[in-house]
Structure 1
Amino acid sequence: MMAERAPNWFDQGGASYLLYRPGYPDDLAAVLAALAPDRRLAVDVGCGNGQFTRHLADHFETVVGVDPSADQIAHAAPDPRIVYRCGPAEALPVADGSAGLITAAQAAHWFDLPAFYGEARRVASRGAVIALVSYGVVRLDPGPINDRLARFHDEDIGPYWPPERHMVENGYADMDFPFAPIVVSPMAIHREWSARQLLGYVGTWSAVRRARDAGQAQRLADFAAELTALWGDPDQTRAILWPISVRVGRL
């Protein structure tokens, strides 16, 4: 009898981003919406497949999701409250003075910030709010599984992280943000995931894709095997956490 072939967690294709990336807590969109001067229009920049855009739609009459990738937008679930448009953060396809809230979730570190901020000021209505959202490195409860995951993130694929990753890990604290700050309470993403789900998520990391392209497939496979062995039953769920950082300002 032929042995069952182990899944290749690190060659899942573009749809895995939608399947395995963690969503955002509902409270985050509610907090930001409450700060906006009105609920007519929100603009989610670098929206990807609309993970955060969908949350905003529960609080605004209309949400425009903007992303330069047509492939990402093609994977977004249709919603009558959301208009998806393909375009860069530095040239938003949005009318002047129309948006009460401008957000960028896990995306601002890729932008030309001065150009994006100029566009945010252009499309903002009077008293509008801008929010840059990021979530940090995934965590499990302290122990061997968390230690192995951290070593994989920091050491095994550490050289393959793009320089912009540092901005995410420090919660955009060092990023230029020339707006009157608004403090919001700390938040986190909480999930109960199996080993299969966690490995699917790890497979969406940019450093994993770059390591695979650099011929490091065996290193990735070894990590998947080690994590699965430490986990035990791969369908057993464990608590997973990502700390959320939000920089909010008044335009």
Structure 2
Amino acid sequence: MKASIDNFSTASAQYAQFRPDYPLELYHYLYARVKHFDCAWDCGTGNGQVALVLAERFNQVQASDLSAAQIEQAAPHPRIQYSVCRAEQSPFAEQHFDLITVAQALHWFDFGAFYAEVGRVAKPGALLAVWGYGLLSVHPEIDPWIQHFYRSTIGPYWDAERHHIDEAYAQIPFPFSALEQAQFSIHKRWNLEQFIGYLGTWSSVKKYIQQHNEDPVLKLQPQLQAWWPTDQVLDIRFPIFLKTGQV
């Protein structure tokens, strides 16, 4: 079985503060394709971002993550039970879930082992939804700086699995009855400080700092400030890619 990778325990509080959340339209799209709302599993939940939304609709939500530090940052909810476990080896009962979600995490999993686990714990006809988001866009004058930073400055420091994000999961197998696809985007309004904070959550930035003992984001910041005054709020867009299928 593929070894699990945990890139987020060391900055779980920062991750909880700056990582973008997902539009309600995405959840409504999923709910329209779910047969029952008894129990959902948010696998790779991180700080529970998705689980908290699911708990507004489902009677019970199981939210699991490999990182205990991430789980510690998750907000409690009476209908959410958090647990620390591998995606491929969960403690859940067979045929238990009506919906299984994986947000920005599938590329870290052992695909075959995880899909076998999905088949074990999902109810017949349950919905599996996996999604992620690609590189953000801000402004025509700013985007080239961000792209150069992403691909050249810290490009060599991404884990190999990052290519799945760049390819919008196109090369990840999905052995379920796929449903029609829909397009969604994350929209945020951030000032430069918030954007810099978000860049600091990137695992490649952390690896760069570990190897060079300097923060590459600090070198990028003056270039951004030429087009992004510190007190100005700009519209940020993250493209979402989504795969859904019935188990």
TM-score range, shorter chain: over 0.9
Matched, 1:161 2:181: no
Q: Which amino acid aligns with 1:99?
A: F
1:7 — aligned with what?
none
Q: What do residues 183-236 of structure 1 show as CA deviations (whole Å, max 9, x unaligned)?
A: 13200000111000111000000110111111061543211232233312x121
Q: Which amino acid aligns with 1:115?
A: A
Q: What do residues 38-69 of structure 1 show as CA deviations (whole Å, max 9, x unaligned)?
A: 10011010100011111211221111101011
Q: Work out which of the residue numbers 240, 244, 247 in structure 2 matches 1:244.
A: 240
Unaligned stretches of 5+ residues in structure 2? 1-9
In 1, the alpha carbon distance for the partners of 2:227 and 2:147 equals 14
What are the within-5 Å matches in structure 2 for residues 3-82 of structure 1? Answer: 13-82=11-80
In 1, the alpha carbon distance for the partners of 2:174 and 2:121 equals 17
What are the within-5 Å matches in structure 2 for residues 207-222 of structure 1? Answer: 207-215=204-212, 217=214, 219-222=216-219
In the TM superposition, structure 1's runs of 4+ consecutive aligned residues that sit over 3 Å from their partners are: none
Q: Which amino acid aligns with 1:243?
A: P
TM-score normalised by structure 1 residue count: 0.91
Matched, 1:150 2:147: yes
Backbone CA RMSD of aligned residues: 1.4
TM-score normalised by structure 2 residue count: 0.93
1:9 — aligned with what?
none
Q: What do residues 129-153 of structure 1 show as CA deviations (whole Å, max 9, x unaligned)?
A: 111111111111322x111111111
1:185 — aligned with what?
182
In 2, the alpha carbon distance for the partners of 1:33 and 1:60 equals 10
Unaligned stretches of 5+ residues in structure 1? 1-11
In 2, the alpha carbon distance for the partners of 1:250 and 1:40 equals 16
- Decide whether aligned partners of structure 1 residues 59 and 197 sit closer, same or farther in structure 2, where only a CA change above 3 A counts: same
Matched, 1:102 2:100: yes
Q: What do residues 113-168 of structure 1 show as CA deviations (whole Å, max 9, x unaligned)?
A: 1110011010011210111111111111322x111111111111111111111101
Percent identity of paired positions between Structure 1 and Structure 2: 39
In 1, the alpha carbon distance for the partners of 2:24 and 2:159 equals 30
- State the Cα distance separating 1:36 from its structure 2 match: 1.6
1:131 — aligned with what?
129
In 1, the alpha carbon distance for the partners of 2:128 and 2:83 equals 19
Q: Which amino acid aligns with 2:47?
A: N
